[in-house]
Structure 1
Amino acid sequence: MSISRREFGMSVLAAGVVAAGFGIQRASAAAKYRLRYGTAFPNSHPGAKRIMEAAEAIKKTTDGLVELQVYPSSQLGGEADMFSQTRSGALDFMSTSGVNQTVVPVGGINAVAFAFESYDKVWAAMDGDLGNHVRAAFGKAGLHVMPKSLDNGYRNITSSAKPIVTPDDLKGFKIRVPGNPLWVTLFKTLGASPTPIDFGELYAALQTKIVDGEENPLALIQSAKLYEVQKYISLTGHIWDGHYIFANGDKWASLPPDAQKAITEALSQAADLERQDIQHFNEQVSAEMTNSGVTINKVDTKPFRDALRNGGYYSDWKAKFGPEAWALLEKYSGPL
């Protein structure tokens, strides 16, 4: 439902009258809240497209009083840079997954390898008690987190020289990972050589063989055209990856309740639609990339899980996350 300017309050008596609904002092009807949102998702990725649609909805709902300016494709820097900018207040909003664990360790708990075997378990956890626990932790670090996260999909391994079929295939394999300890320890435990590289630099790193391969969801492999410089995709589904939508805590607190409500509703709807997009997108992109010459192979994940368990991966991370967070994870994943 559209919010009229009367609902936000009108400055009708004189300059200097405070607009009641938005709590802002404005000299003309053109005054707006201009907020910047940064993301690494490419323009064509549903995670960028749905947020841009949300920006239009916010503008319409608030009758132009709130303008969310969206910058996709890492235009404002890499994910680590944008996350730092959002924490400092230089950027108002951004979405990411991996880099946040360096600030709030429990923020990466969804990325415990092979934790969620289906989307039913993913959304039960992330929209439920586990997600609430993580959002509260970010709140203590000065960040407001939207109630629904975007789906970045299950991550799969790509390579240029050979398909990855067993854990032995990862021995000495130089693989790009985001700057997240969970990713690094996962691949180190499997004998690979994990190398953190910003997503915006990944295509060039693969093209020039700085790394042998990488791991990302199918939608991102397709939308960023990574398949052009990789020959094989192994459907490991080793991590479910989602993007929390962050707002600078002080900026968020400074917005009037009507603005907060409009933004929250639009971004939550965008997340719901984007989740549907990813599922449909994954069904299509496998065929498209196969037709382009990429070989896609299924993987038996049990040997990977066994190698991680025997290598102490799960016990180490249980100790790091602590019993409360781990119990919330296993409430949805089952025993790890």
Structure 2
Amino acid sequence: MTYKTLTAASVAALMLGTAGASADTWRYAFEEQLEEVQGIFAQKFKEEVEANSDHEVQLFPFGTLGESADIMEQAQSGLIQFVDQSPGFTGALIPEAQVFFVPYLLPENQDALFSFFRNSKTIKELFPPLYAEQGLELLTMFPEGEVVMTTQEPVTSPEDLNEVKFRVMTNPLIVESYQAFGATPTPLPWGEVYGAMQTGIIQGQENPAFFVESTNMYEVTDHITRLGHNNFTTAVMANLDFYEGLPDEDKQVVQDAIQASFDYILEYQDGLTEQSLANIMEAKPSMTITELTEEQRAPFRATAESVEAEFLEIGGDQAQAILDQMKADLEAASEAAN
């Protein structure tokens, strides 16, 4: 079955389901599978909503309704009520959201990272109006785990990425970041990545370790490198018209479920990266996992300034305000963690 056929069939099935479903049914699509981080969050959200209201939540993992662009379009149109999508994809709609792809901006320290996502004024106050302009109610953002790089050859410096075709999401700032790292960034839909790595069309990609494990990406790569350059961020949104049309008691149900799921997913991630890397090594003992030293990271870290400058060029009217507030939020989070 082709991707287009799958997408059309899935959407048609959803439309039929919509016609016969109760108005108490809410639909929630996300970019991962049920047992991956977004899926764990979604399952907790479903559990909380159904325990505290008469609503049912139907979950649609990645692929059931198409690729990332498809589920965003369906959320904006109101065909589905909730969507979980990385700013890596929503960056085309909300350029300011690309700030999460400035390398070495988010802290590696987990306490500081979690404090930022709990308390960030950028997330809670500055982003919601930008999402609303696109017909979306921003409900929360949360981290999914340290981003690691997988390649066919070892990487200890930017020179090792020279002429390496590196898969990236279709996002201008990620492209800029990997160009600065020395690679040849190659945007590809996720569904094509495993085959492209297997056949050598690309020679590298990045994702959290749990995703490298769960998608078996380690089978078609030989080296994992921990640069400490980022933590994968995602956002949960609702269709704005749907959300604004809810009675206050249902809005409270949604907000309470989001908060419970947020707390749950942060706890769930404790130790997840290390466990996933250990599982990968057990499944493939020949894999090498390298954590770069601060000296080795220095030339990668030095690219952050140029990527930040590019963000200010392409990041929209509020890019400077977003960046400034985010840095203030991060400083406050760092102080709170110490």
TM-fit CA distance, 1:90:
2.2
* Alignment pair present for 1:331 and 2:328: yes
Paired residues for 1:276-291 under 5 Å:
276-291=267-282
1:136 to 89, 107, 129: 129
1:190 to 176, 181, 186: 181
Q: How far apart, CA to CA, are the structure 1 residues paired with 2:180 and 2:82?
A: 34
CA distance 1:241–1:316, change in 2 (3 Å): same
Match of 2:80 in 1: 91
Conserved 8 A contact 2:102-2:307? no
TM-fit CA distance, 1:49:
2.3
Query: Amino acid of the residue matched to residue 243 of structure 2?
Result: W
More helix per residue: 2
Q: How far apart, CA to CA, are the structure 1 residues paired with 2:51 and 2:303?
A: 52
Identity of aligned residues (%): 24
* Alignment pair present for 1:303 and 2:299: yes
TM-fit CA distance, 1:252:
1.2
1:272 to 247, 263, 271: 263
TM-fit CA distance, 1:332:
3.8
TM-fit CA distance, 1:31:
5.0
Conserved 8 A contact 1:40-1:199? no
Query: Amino acid of the residue matched to residue 148 of structure 2?
Result: N
> Which blocks of at least 5 consecutive residues in structure 1 are unaligned?
1-29
> Which blocks of at least 5 consecutive residues in structure 2 are unaligned?
1-20, 332-338
Conserved 8 A contact 1:175-1:213? yes
Query: Amino acid of the residue matched to residue 44 of structure 1?
Result: E
In structure 1, the residue corresponding to 2:269 is in which secondary structure? Answer: helix
* Alignment pair present for 1:39 and 2:30: yes
Conserved 8 A contact 1:167-1:307? no
CA distance 1:330–1:88, change in 2 (3 Å): same
Paired residues for 1:23-172 under 5 Å:
32-62=23-53, 65-97=54-86, 98-117=88-107, 118-127=109-118, 128-132=120-124, 133-146=126-139, 148-160=140-152, 162-172=153-163
Length-normalised TM-score, structure 2: 0.82
TM-fit CA distance, 1:298:
0.9
Deviations, residues 201-242 of structure 1 (Å, cap 9, x unaligned): 322222232211100011111122211211110001322221
Conserved 8 A contact 1:125-1:332? yes
* Alignment pair present for 1:316 and 2:310: yes
Q: How far apart, CA to CA, are the structure 1 residues paired with 2:68 and 2:181?
A: 26
Query: Amino acid of the residue matched to residue 129 of structure 2?
Result: A
TM-fit CA distance, 1:319:
4.1
Runs of 4+ in 1 over 6 A off after TM superposition: none
Conserved 8 A contact 1:87-1:142? yes
**Which has more radius of gyration?**
1
Q: How many residues align?
A: 299
Q: How far apart, CA to CA, are the structure 1 residues paired with 2:191 and 2:27?
A: 19
